[in-house]
């Protein structure tokens, strides 16, 4: 667990926290590339739904073998909590990104999602908490960067036109708002004592939600036309779901949100670099400026959170 020293500064993360932060920093940064590859020949929602279902089933099998079947037992309140979080965090959050990446470059999608910690600060302000001035300055800077990225003409679309990029970028914003709010509220929910159990049910819930939503929207599988690149992207996403999301759920309950949120300014850097190297996405002046401003704003928020007084820190 992380603790605060006598000056109110959060100490360096423990090895247990670092072990789970690194998958968030690296694996989640590459998921935007994985989604882009999946979209080349797989349905957006059903493709992601299937990878969540498989990841959830694999994790459930591992837990059953290692800990016994009782580890998967839930009461009604816990079941309701994991269903809501699975739908609103993974289902809505990843669903929006998946639909949007048909038009929005993967690096830009990652940049927009990276403002998630800023929304968490705004939710706390609405709940009458008092973040530091540095934190609020970071929110202001990050939102300026987000606004610049949403302006028409600043991003080269993957397909469609400038209006498609703007509208689906706003869709990503809505998905990140859902992710941020329910991550922030997670400590108020009654969840299973084992975070991996929580992960299993959230993955399965998101898988069912996205699969049904995709079917209702007219998506269908055409396995004969799925490319090797899409299968590789899908397989990577299954692995990332297992490792990175399990780490995220553990961190929400065991580390300060300020440390957990650091993934938000590492992920876009990884995504932009991979998108450029593998998908030939252009790193334009607008992308460079947006990356600098948004990541700078998130970094200010995280720094401001680390300097808060002990009584305001989310620590265990």
CB 37 within 8 A of CB 228: no
List the one residue out of 170, 240, 214 whose CA is nearest residue 28. Answer: 240
CB 79 within 8 A of CB 69: no
Specify the higher pLDDT residue, 243 or 292: 243
CB-CB neighbours of 48 under 10 Å? 31
Domain boundaries, the chain: 16-312
pLDDT for 306 equals 59
SS3 of the chain: helix, strand, coil, percent, to 5: 75, 0, 25
Q: What is the pLDDT averaged over residues 8-12?
A: 44
- Return the structure tokens found at 68: 């016994």
pLDDT for 166 equals 84
Q: What is the pLDDT averaged over residues 61-70?
A: 92
CB 247 within 8 A of CB 20: yes
pLDDT for 302 equals 65
CB 52 within 8 A of CB 241: yes
pLDDT for 5 equals 35
Residue range 105-137, pLDDT digits in tens = 888 888 888 777 778 777 877 777 777 777 777
Residue 49 has pLDDT above 90, yes or no: yes
Strands (E), the chain: none
Q: What is the pLDDT averaged over residues 213-235?
A: 95
């Amino acid at each position: 667990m992380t603790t605060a020293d006598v000056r109110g500064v959060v100490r360096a993360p423990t090895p247990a926290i670092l072990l789970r932060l690194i998958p968030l920093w690296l694996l989640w940064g590459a998921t935007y590339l994985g989604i882009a590859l999946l979209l080349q020949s797989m349905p957006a929602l059903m493709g992601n739904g299937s990878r969540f279902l498989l990841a959830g089933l694999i994790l459930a099998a591992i837990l059953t073998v290692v800990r016994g079947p009782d580890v998967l037992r839930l009461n009604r309140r816990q079941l309701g909590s994991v269903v809501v979080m699975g739908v609103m965090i993974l289902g809505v959050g990843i669903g929006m990104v998946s639909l949007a990446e048909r038009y929005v470059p993967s690096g830009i999608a990652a940049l927009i999602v990276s403002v998630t910690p800023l929304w968490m600060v705004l939710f706390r302000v609405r709940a009458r908490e008092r973040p530091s001035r540095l934190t609020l300055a970071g929110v202001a800077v990050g939102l300026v960067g987000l606004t610049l990225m949403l302006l028409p003409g600043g991003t080269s679309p993957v397909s469609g036109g400038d209006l498609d990029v703007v509208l689906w970028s706003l869709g990503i914003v809505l998905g990140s708002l859902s992710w941020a709010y329910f991550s922030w509220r997670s400590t108020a929910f009654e969840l299973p004592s084992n975070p991996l159990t929580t992960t299993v049910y959230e993955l399965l819930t998101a898988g069912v939600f996205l699969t049904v939503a995709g079917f209702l929207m007219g998506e269908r599988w055409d396995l004969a036309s799925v490319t090797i690149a899409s299968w590789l992207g899908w397989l990577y996403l299954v692995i990332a779901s297992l490792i990175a999301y399990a780490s995220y759920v553990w961190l929400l309950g065991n580390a300060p949100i300020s440390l957990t949120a650091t993934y938000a300014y590492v992920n876009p850097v990884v995504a932009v670099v991979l998108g450029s190297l593998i998908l030939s996405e252009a790193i334009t002046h607008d992308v460079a400026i947006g990356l600098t401003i948004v990541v700078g704003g998130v970094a200010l928020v995280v720094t401001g959170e680390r300097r808060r007084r002990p009584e305001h820190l989310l620590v265990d």
